[in-house]
Structure 1
């Protein structure tokens, strides 16, 4: 098994256990959500992706986001501590950095 594949599987399992412990999901649902999160992150590194997540107020938001270096502005370092429960992304519509709770991701679409 390649090192890249092992790293991806490790990331999925760590995220799934985080969902079980913090959000009270069963392991099957946690693994599904973890895989969706890991795949979305990989696709966002390649370009702009359409995805949906549940906002904290309960409404569903449709977003177009990316993590591709050639599509995002240069960032300065920050003294802020990273939060493992959030996925940060660059919103292509609002041209701002945004975030959502990883446990609230619903789905993504490669075609839009």
Structure 2
């Protein structure tokens, strides 16, 4: 029997990956371009965007730079484009149950 306690925030990185994927898509930056800009293998970039692994902090920073994204903190209720994209990703992951339509 597995007695491991699940951390409720251990999958938060997935929301960040979806957020980056949306930004890259909006800028027409492909996974191949991200691989070229970061020096990472294209297969590793692909696996990350498939939510199969969480990159290290060093690789996060490389990917953020490749997608031309700045990191900042913002109030959850802010209506900026970036915050709205992040909240969309969180909702898609089921991390915002208050935004999921009720049956």
Q: Give the structure-1-normalised TM-score.
A: 0.29
Q: Give the structure-2-normalised TM-score.
A: 0.31
More helix by share: 2
Give the number of the structure whose alpha-carbon radius of gyration is greater.
Answer: 2
Structure with more contact order per residue of length (Cα contacts < 8 Å, sep ≥ 6):
2
